[in-house]
Structure 1
Amino acid sequence: MENCTLYTHEVDMGKVLTRMRAHFDASALNVNGQEDNWESITVVSKKRRLRKGNTITITYRQRSVPGYTLEHSDEPIIVNLHGMYAFVQQIDAENQELKKLLLGKIPTVNTEIAIKAEPSFNGDLRSAVMDLAYELDAFFFSEGNSIFNTDVQGFWDKTGALLLDVNGHATATNLTVNIEAKYFDSQTPPSAEALERKARSLQQLQAMGVRSSAMLPAIVDETVAVIRTPEEVAKRVAILTAINGVAFGHLPPQDVISYLQKKQLWEHVTPDEKKFLQHPTEEEKTKATWKCESIWVLLWALGLMPELGYMTDLCNLDMVPEEVFPFRGLSGDLTPFFEKATTLRPAAAILDANDLYYRAHWSCVDARLKSEEAPVHPGVVYERHYALNWLINYRNQPWDSVTCDT
């Protein structure tokens, strides 16, 4: 078996199917999934005499939001691109200008297309793959195969010229970095309010001895942000505090399920939370204990805690006054809590906190990538950033799917 991967700024994967159909007739193609949203394509090249035809299988993954910059994210493709960027950086290239162009092209990648050949890329399949690379303005990463007639790991351009291998060699002389105009057009300039908030956050972090990046964009302002309603936030924190008892091993999960059902909250429990309560493992319990930080943030957003506190310290839920804590035992009454949890802090205050933790989170990720010690507590910052992103409806993501891009 042989492999190669194409990297492209294109997101229209209908082009892949179109190019394969230009090379092979319908009997040679097997498309898994819908035509306009396929999952995989299998192509069988022509059989020759008594030999079976060679086969390629094509799959892909994309960024959730296309773009041309490489921010920190937990998305698998973004994580892979960060690794690729770091890998290229450490290669001692003969052609340093070409290396810079490759480093400039990596952040523009929106789609990663994996191609597997059985047993190898024959002439028909090689021609189709090269045509596809040209159509998508893609570059290759390969650990060596019959397309490039080498067993050396490296990067090749859409014409098959070597951009950079692990030994620093290259045969290509140039590399074009294309970015679709719509990615620029879709981004409106930040408002004065957003820029002022960014400046305040950077000053505050600097005073704390936390280095962040002035290159990070400003977040949304009050005219754009859609803050969760007090009712949404109150229900979310009520659920989290009940589940907290299972996370720390204080309560049986089935009792908490019954409690949430009795309190008419079960329908608001997320799919991941239901899965946890039905079959909690020790590893998942440990992970769930971190949601104390989310509880802390949400109580603060409801105005039931005076401040978020330091980024270096774990929160202490024992400091929350009993009268404003939602969970009061399996037989407790939620009415007093919901009567108090009727308003949120001003949107400006919530956005200030989100912006600050967003920039602090970047510092933590940057420290991890450099194998350095973070200036604040990475776990605390991540969990609070998570809750704050949910509060401001970041990318309209539900609780289970919140991302903390930096």
Structure 2
Amino acid sequence: MENCTLYTHEVDMGKVLTRMRAHFDASALKVNGQEDNWVSITVVSKKRRLRKGNTITITYRQRSVPGYTLEHSDEPIIVNLHGMHAFVQQIDADNQELKQRLLAKIPTINTEVAIKAEPSFNGDLRSAVMDLAYELDAFFFSEGNVIFNTDVQGFWDKTGALLLDVNGHSTATNLNVNIEAKYFDSQTPPSAEALERKARSLQQLQAMGVRSSAMLPAIVDESAVTLRSREEIAGRVAVLTAINGVAFGHLAGKDVISYLQRNQLWEHTSPAERKFLENPTEEEKTKATWKCESIWVLLWALELVPELGYMTDLCNLDMVPEEVFPFRGLSGDVAFFFEKATKLRSATAILDANDLYYRAHWSCVDARLKSEEAPVHPGVVYERHYALNWLINYRNQPWDEVTCDT
């Protein structure tokens, strides 16, 4: 037996029956339930000489209310999508931009179509399933079968290209995130403030020689945004600066754990940070060094760094005045920093920065997909966009799960 699952934003399951009928005659199909509200579909492929035909059984489940975000819910499909999002988040992907697109697509899923093959997906069945994926604009999750000629667990796009496997590998180069326009019907259109911000960002990027897309939507405006609190930002940056010492090999993970616990900061660490400190491998250390850019952004948000600087240059934490830098060694006390962190930049300034880096990030992704050189530093832009999205509570995502959709 082989299995695969299709995930789609579509809710019209009549399309499934239509596509199966396009591939197989009536004698090969058995529909359980009503034509316009079927429960399962069984398809038997043509028999081969001295061999029985192969069979697939198709079932599905859907959200009770279609949408494009993942709210907290006990619905089985929503619970599964939350689990999938967390699963993808922890994979160390070779293609980080493609991974972020997959993370952005998961919340848009409305329907999960499960397909079971007995004993396997032969040529006729494989062709029908691939056609169905294309019709539904779906992606696959599979633990391995003859459709993808592998036994590795992973995600594939509607063409059969590998989006991401458990080892972090990909062969696909892009993944479109489509949302039905009707799901926006009840949404408030962009405000004049948001549209003006978008226009300013595009003009600023153009002046820098950075091409972005005018098709990207406006971001949230000041009337709808809920910024992280000054206290939460201070706690986050205090944790990051301590972990920074481990990332660069200056400190041992266990010593920083003791420091964080002694300074009542351990509760502010994320699950991924705790895992890193307990076993800081060289590979993970290298990845963690990039959080210097997050530290820079958060200190800027607290008005402890005057400017974010250029998108082409790495930040330099040595430029942060010692009297306002949170970490002063393992024997230091971080209380002084919370006394210094008394200000928070305006929502206007933070949203301006978020909008600008969002559009610059698109340019980096576009350049990568076209195998061109990005006009700004992709790593700098991504990490700063990450921190800025956290600052504006983008999709209410915790630190480890922040997505940088473009």
TM-score computed with the length of structure 2 as normaliser = 0.67
Could you tell me which amino acid in structure 1 is paired with residue 99 of structure 2? D
Give how far 1:186 is off. Answer: 3.7
| Separation in structure 2 between the aligned mates of residue 58 and residue 76 of structure 1, nearest angstrom | 27
Identify if the C-alpha distance between structure 1 residues 271 and 2 changes in structure 2 by more than 3 Å, giving closer, same or farther: closer
For residues 348-363 of structure 1, the aligned pairs below 5 Å read 348-363=348-363
The equivalent of 1:138 in structure 2 is 136
Do 2:300 and 2:306's aligned partners in 1 also have CA atoms closer than 8 Å?
Answer: yes
Give how far 1:268 is off. Answer: 1.2
Could you tell me which amino acid in structure 1 is paired with residue 267 of structure 2? E
The equivalent of 2:272 in structure 1 is 272
The equivalent of 2:287 in structure 1 is 287
Give how far 1:9 is off. Answer: 3.0
Q: What secondary structure sits across from 1:237 in the alignment?
A: helix
The equivalent of 2:194 in structure 1 is 194
Deviations 1:77-117 (A, max 9, x none): 47999xxxxxxxxxxxxxxxxxxxxxxxxxx9865746352
| Separation in structure 1 between the aligned mates of residue 298 and residue 376 of structure 2, nearest angstrom | 21
Give how far 1:24 is off. Answer: 5.9
| Separation in structure 2 between the aligned mates of residue 354 and residue 141 of structure 1, nearest angstrom | 30
Could you tell me which amino acid in structure 1 is paired with residue 342 of structure 2? T
Query: Which stretch shifts more, 364-373 or 4-13?
Result: 4-13
Give how far 1:267 is off. Answer: 1.1
| Separation in structure 2 between the aligned mates of residue 189 and residue 77 of structure 1, nearest angstrom | 26
For residues 229-378 of structure 1, the aligned pairs below 5 Å read 229-378=229-378
Deviations 1:176-234 (A, max 9, x none): xx975641314321001101100110010000000000110000010000000000000
Return 5+ residue gaps in structure 2 as ranges: 17-29, 34-39, 70-96, 148-157, 160-177
For residues 43-122 of structure 1, the aligned pairs below 5 Å read 56=56, 66=68, 74-75=99-100, 77=102, 113=113, 115-120=115-120
Deviations 1:231-265 (A, max 9, x none): 00000000000000000000010000000000011
Indicate yes or no: 2:223 matched with 1:223. Answer: yes
Identify if the C-alpha distance between structure 1 residues 3 and 272 changes in structure 2 by more than 3 Å, giving closer, same or farther: closer
Aligned residues: 321
Q: Which has the larger radius of gyration?
A: 1
The equivalent of 1:87 in structure 2 is none
Identify if the C-alpha distance between structure 1 residues 325 and 213 changes in structure 2 by more than 3 Å, giving closer, same or farther: same
Q: What secondary structure sits across from 2:235 in the alignment?
A: helix
Identify if the C-alpha distance between structure 1 residues 141 and 276 changes in structure 2 by more than 3 Å, giving closer, same or farther: closer
Deviations 1:293-348 (A, max 9, x none): 00000000000010000000000001100001000000112122111112210110
Do 2:8 and 2:138's aligned partners in 1 also have CA atoms closer than 8 Å?
Answer: no
Return 5+ residue gaps in structure 1 as ranges: 17-21, 26-40, 82-107, 146-153, 156-177
Do 1:291 and 1:383's aligned partners in 2 also have CA atoms closer than 8 Å?
Answer: yes
Identify if the C-alpha distance between structure 1 residues 141 and 236 changes in structure 2 by more than 3 Å, giving closer, same or farther: closer
Could you tell me which amino acid in structure 2 is paired with residue 377 of structure 1? H
Give how far 1:61 is off. Answer: 11
Identity of aligned residues (%): 77
Q: What secondary structure sits across from 1:343 in the alignment?
A: coil
Could you tell me which amino acid in structure 1 is paired with residue 136 of structure 2? A
| Separation in structure 1 between the aligned mates of residue 269 and residue 350 of structure 2, nearest angstrom | 24
The equivalent of 2:388 in structure 1 is 388
Identify if the C-alpha distance between structure 1 residues 7 and 248 changes in structure 2 by more than 3 Å, giving closer, same or farther: closer
